[in-house]
């Protein structure tokens, strides 16, 4: 924590501002190499198109090693990410997204596994055409 929690409970406007700005995106805990240096294996990812959506799913050889899944995805030239619970093993993304630069097509995804100590598996790029 950067400050006492009472600052947030006494000032809901501050809490709301923080959630909408500096704490808007999810974040992973940095790796704790002194606890565990071994990275999980990469998941096996499949990507299928259905109508105007891309269905992305994955499996892992040792799912007890996984605490989070990290989905990286690129529309146009802009990368973004989502951190997903270890129970989630699929997601749908729109094939085309409206951005500040107009309509952008989904063109790449990466799914990695992260363990409890923050070690992340190797990133394997899947290009979507």
CATH number reported for the structural domain that contains residue 44 in this entry: 2.60.40.10
Residue 18 belongs to some domain of the structure? no
Q: What angle do CA 77, 82, 83 make, to 5 degrees?
A: 145
With 80 as the cut, is the pLDDT of residue 108 above it?
yes
Do the domain assignments include residue 98?
yes
Three-class secondary structure of residue 4 per DSSP:
coil
Mean pLDDT over residues 46-51, rounded?
A: 90
Q: If you average pLDDT over every residue of the chain, what do you get?
A: 90
**Distance in angstroms (rounded) separating the CA atoms of residues 106 and 44:** 19
Per-position DSSP letters for 10-63, written without gaps between them: S-HHHHHHHHHTTT-S--PPPP-TTT--PPPPPPEEEEEEETTEEEEEEE-TTG
Residue 1 has pLDDT above 60, yes or no: no
Whether 78 is in a domain gets the answer yes
**Banded model confidence at residue 39, pLDDT cuts 50, 70, 90:** very high
Q: What is the pLDDT of residue 53?
A: 94
């Amino acid at each position: 924590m950067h400050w006492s929690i009472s600052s947030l409970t006494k000032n809901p406007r501050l809490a709301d501002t923080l959630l909408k700005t500096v704490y808007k995106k999810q974040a992973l805990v940095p790796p704790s190499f002194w606890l565990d240096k071994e990275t999980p294996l990469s998941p096996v990812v499949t990507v299928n198109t259905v109508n105007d959506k891309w269905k992305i799913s994955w499996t892992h050889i040792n799912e007890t090693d996984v605490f989070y899944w990290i989905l990286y995805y690129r529309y146009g030239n802009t990368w973004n990410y989502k951190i997903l619970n270890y129970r989630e093993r699929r997601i749908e993304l729109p094939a085309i997204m409206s951005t500040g630069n107009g309509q952008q097509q989904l063109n790449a995804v990466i799914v990695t596994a992260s363990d409890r100590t923050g070690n992340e598996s190797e990133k394997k790029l899947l290009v979507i055409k």
